[in-house]
Amino acid sequence: MSMPATSNDRAKVVSKLPGWLRQNLKVRTAQLGIEIQTAVEQGITAWLDLASTTTSVDTAGAESFSTFLPQGQWEEFRRIAEDRRVSLTQGLAQSVQLWLDTHPAPDVQRPEITRRVVVCNQKGGVGKTAITAGVGEALAEDPNRLFPVRVAKALATALRASESPDNVPDAAYDPLDVEKLPGHGLRVLLVDFDPQSHLTNQLGAAPLAMNGDSLTNHMAGDPKGDLRDLIVPVDEENFGGRLHLLPSCHDAFLLDVRLSAVRAREAALERALLPLEADYDVIIVDCPPSLGLSMDAAAYYGRRREGEGPGQSGALIVVQAEDSSADAYDLLTNQMEDLRSDLALDIDYLGIVVNLYDSRRGYIATSSLQGWVDIKDPKVVGLISDLKEQKEAVRMKQPLLSYAPSSQQAVAMRALAREIS
């Protein structure tokens, strides 16, 4: 144990702490937004105030641990530890455990109204499915574990860097701009609303049988059972039963035809999914590349409801840094504006995600990205690089955040989830 350096009015203390206890301390301080040195100081203060020694802590395998404490606190701690006949390692472990016991993990913040995120763009191939899955996975991660997240300032830096044609392929990622944060711990339902079933297949599930029940049947007013019975869990080991999928069925190719005979057809998706909302904090809909009646129903489902704040639900638009995405964007936003006007709806844009970005494609990519940035409203909320891990996860039929949890794309997906939370 030593105090070899000072930081302002604090002295650096080098001691030992068991790895499991150090990890619990890291997680809890991150959950509460408190610096580790502040937590240790508070724990030691509380331990010094005890009338007697608290319960012994298993310190087997304790390893070096350093922190900064107020001047004089460590000397007092050493004196009291000697009086109580405990080692400094044991006393520090008791202090940290005391702090953990008196500072429980906060409850997961659940929305009063289930949030609805509609991931859309009528252009195919932009990666809507990957964004749907990645955001849902990020929102469902364990609140009692730490995960690498790209901090908000890194996105702004990457977007500024995009103005230069000489920027490197991974300009959207800098390990120095990554921090470890707790998962959101939300209950998430992913809805595969695309008859091509990409989301269903990517997550290792099977499309629903054509002669059985489906979301299409429920929207058309011809259900064959409870929609809950069609839902399947996604990687329960990594997401703790918080992430679920409503698989697609190829009968969705006929959805627009069937909706044409339904009254108030724009509300058909909401009528089908409303009974499920009590079970989930967030429902994310992977929309088909279409501007038909199904897209009207999806946009209506994502509208702002009474009592819901702006930006809680709405449309997340996925694009690429190339010209055809811009054309598709104009068509989509025109449809949204028509719905807003015709039905007097508040449909919020949650932002634009520029997906599959690679500045090595030169001026087309960098100038197109700048064009998206210049829109301002909706703003760019995510920049996802075109890297191999997403493709590998799809091939393996695994969630990206399970398959490559520390990859650049996973780090960016977590940042995106926080941007729209």
Taking only the tens place, the pLDDT of each residue in 116-150 is 999 998 888 899 999 999 999 999 999 999 999 98
Q: How far, in whole angstroms, is CA 252 from its chain's centroid?
A: 28
pLDDT at 4: 41
What DSSP state is assigned to residue 321? S
Helix (H) or strand (E) holding 101: helix 88-102
Domain boundaries, the chain: 6-102, 115-419
- Both tokens of residue 147? 């995960």
Half-sphere exposure of 171 (CA within 13 A, CB side): 21
pLDDT at 152: 63
Q: What is the pLDDT of residues 162-200, one digit of tens each?
A: 555 444 444 445 555 889 999 999 999 999 999 999 999
Q: One-letter amino acid identity for 107?
A: D
Q: 115-419 is classed in which CATH architecture? A: 3-Layer(aba) Sandwich (3.40)
- Asked whether 334 and 302 are in contact (CB, 8 A), the reply is no
Kindly state the average pLDDT of the residues 220-232: 96
pLDDT at 365: 85
State the Cα–Cα distance between residues 200 and 230, nearest whole angstrom: 12
For 125-270, list the strands marked E by DSSP: 146-150, 178-182, 188-192, 232-233, 243-246
Q: One-letter amino acid identity for 106?
A: P
Q: What is the pLDDT of residues 299-308, one digit of tens each?
A: 999 999 999 9
Helix (H, G, I), strand (E, B) or coil at 3: coil
pLDDT at 177: 81
Q: What is the pLDDT of residues 267-284, one digit of tens each?
A: 999 999 999 999 999 999
For 157-242, list the strands marked E by DSSP: 178-182, 188-192, 232-233
State the Cα–Cα distance between residues 223 and 208, nearest whole angstrom: 14
Q: What is the pLDDT of residues 372-415, one digit of tens each?
A: 988 888 999 999 999 999 999 999 999 999 999 999 999 999 99
| pTM, entire model | 0.90
